[in-house]
A and B are shown apart, each in its own frame.
Chain A
Amino acid sequence: MALLTSELKAAVGRQLPPVRAEVTRREICKYSAATGQRLQRFIDGDEAPPMFLFGLFLPILPREQLGHDGLPPDTGLVPELPLKRVMAGGTQQTWFRGIYPGDVLVSRQTLLDLFEKEGAQGPLIFAVVENRVETEAGEPVMTERSTRIAR
């Protein structure tokens, strides 16, 4: 049975507005201390550990815009799906260069695909989101594909 209507499928290809963020040595040093990095270039903030990018583009919102669970509202990139139990799938990253203090990076998120499969315990819907991170000058830094699975 098709769960994904043509209306839902029409959301494929839509994008969020680009998000721009500056990388500072102090933010890298905080991240490195918080994650127990042992390589001196990360501890000193000369370069950022790769997963530093995960937090760089998270929204900064006032308390009253956060939910009871502490989370910001959903971005709306993935439309509301007919299956409600959502699990994180995998994250795949391709890296083109490191991240350094002074970099100004831009993140562009696109809903790349929505598809369904019949799982052993019923239908599953997969939503694939692409996050392209580039420098302001357009040099690729990292491209990531994350999958959300609804069941």
Chain B
Amino acid sequence: MKLSRVHVGDPLPERAFKPDEVQLFMYNAAIWNHHRIHYDHPYTTGEEGHPGIVIDGPLQGDFLTQLVLEWVGTDGALSGFEYSNRKAAYIGETLRARGRITEVREADSEVDVELAIVNEAGEVITPGKASVRFHQ
């Protein structure tokens, strides 16, 4: 993506994620996280009161960074990123990562993007923002 082709309001190509048990196991093994709510269904529903196995919050943060980095390709790098897990997501749900350009600072070769993970009910469960600095 070239900076000259970026405009405020442009959407980023949307991407859907549907983590299953195997992907969640791979993720938690890779980051070395052994919290039971990510693999032990009886514990998660019986003792922590969730309706199902919980999709990790930072994994949703990762999904948002993927949306941005796939969009910018090799033309820039992440300079800022923020996200906030507002509502839990569970195995079986399809999560959609969305983004939209909110600011283009040509003098700094920097672009701001508003991000969101949206659940099947259409709720924004993980809002976020990113800044990308384009290579000059």
- A residues within 8 Å of B by Cβ? 27, 30-31, 33-39, 49-51, 54-55, 58, 60, 66, 69-71, 88-95, 98
- Which residues of chain B have C-beta atoms less than 8 A from A70's C-beta? 34-36, 40
Contact with A along B72-90 (1 / 0, CB 8 A): 0000011111111100000
Cα distance A51–B69 in the bound complex, in angstroms: 12
Extra contacts besides A35-B62, A54-B62 (12): CB < 8 Å: A30-B29, A35-B59, A35-B63, A35-B66, A38-B70, A50-B65, A51-B59, A54-B58, A88-B84, A90-B84, A93-B81, A95-B78
A interface secondary structure, majority: mixed
How many A-B pairs with Cβ below 8 Å?
Answer: 91
Cα distance A89–B33 in the bound complex, in angstroms: 20
Cα distance A58–B27 in the bound complex, in angstroms: 13
Cα distance A58–B62 in the bound complex, in angstroms: 17
- Which residues of chain A have C-beta atoms less than 8 A from B79's C-beta? 94-95
CB distance from A43 to the nearest CB of B (A): 12
Cα distance A90–B126 in the bound complex, in angstroms: 10
B34-A37 in contact (CB<8A): no
A93-B85 in contact (CB<8A): no
- Which residues of chain B have C-beta atoms less than 8 A from A94's C-beta? 79-80
* Chain A, Cβ-Cβ closest to B40: A70
B58-A34 in contact (CB<8A): no
Of the candidates B43, B57, B81, the one whose C-beta lies within 8 Å of that of A50 is B81
CB distance from B15 to the nearest CB of A (A): 9
A89-B84 in contact (CB<8A): yes
Asked whether any CB of chain A lies closer than 8 Å to the CB of B30, the reply is: yes
- Which residues of chain A have C-beta atoms less than 8 A from B63's C-beta? 35
- Which residues of chain A have C-beta atoms less than 8 A from B61's C-beta? 51, 54, 91
Of the candidates A27, A69, A89, A90, the one whose C-beta lies within 8 Å of that of B36 is A69
CB distance from B16 to the nearest CB of A (A): 11
CB distance from B68 to the nearest CB of A (A): 9
B69-A71 in contact (CB<8A): no
Cα distance A4–B83 in the bound complex, in angstroms: 27
